[in-house]
């Protein structure tokens, strides 16, 4: 059963472009190397340019677990750690119904 993750990240003022560059590189790497990641999309809040939301869908728990353990995820965390204005808020969701 697919697992959805919503990750809300707040970056420090003036750091949004640097964060976006690192995030785009991460998205490209996920696309190339994680077949179990069905969707990995970054959004920016239109009312708050320092708030970013990842919408992620994994084919199953194993794919989510694998994503968290990759070298590129660890490298991404190292790149963005100093850019963030607090800890990310992570919600893990289980699908209930679909149209």
- Inside any domain, residue 45: yes
Q: How many domains does the chain have?
A: 1
- Inside any domain, residue 32: yes
Q: Which domain holds residue 53?
A: 3-94
Tens digits of per-residue pLDDT, 73-91?
999 999 999 999 999 999 9
SS3 51: strand
CATH number for the domain including 29? 3.30.70.100
SS3 9: strand
- Inside any domain, residue 99: no
- Inside any domain, residue 46: yes
Tens digits of per-residue pLDDT, 24-57?
999 999 999 999 999 999 999 999 999 999 999 9
Q: Which long-range contacts (CB under 8 A, 24 or more apart) does 93-98 make?
A: 93/3, 93/4, 93/5, 93/6, 94/1, 94/3, 94/4, 95/1, 95/2, 95/4
Is pLDDT of 1 > 90? no
- Inside any domain, residue 52: yes
Nearest-angstrom CA–CA distance, 84 and 12: 6
Q: What number of other Cβ atoms are within 10 A of residue 3's Cβ?
A: 19
């Amino acid at each position: 059963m697919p697992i959805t993750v919503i990750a809300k990240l707040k970056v420090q003022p003036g750091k949004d472009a640097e964060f976006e560059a690192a995030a785009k590189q991460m998205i490209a790497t996920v696309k190339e190397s994680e077949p179990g990641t069905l969707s990995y999309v970054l959004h920016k809040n239109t009312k708050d340019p320092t708030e970013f939301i990842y919408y992620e869908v994994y084919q199953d728990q194993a794919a989510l677990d694998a994503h968290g353990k990759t070298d590129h995820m660890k490298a991404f965390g190292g790149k963005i750690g100093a850019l963030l204005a607090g800890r990310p808020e992570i919600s893990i969701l289980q699908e209930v119904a679909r149209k």
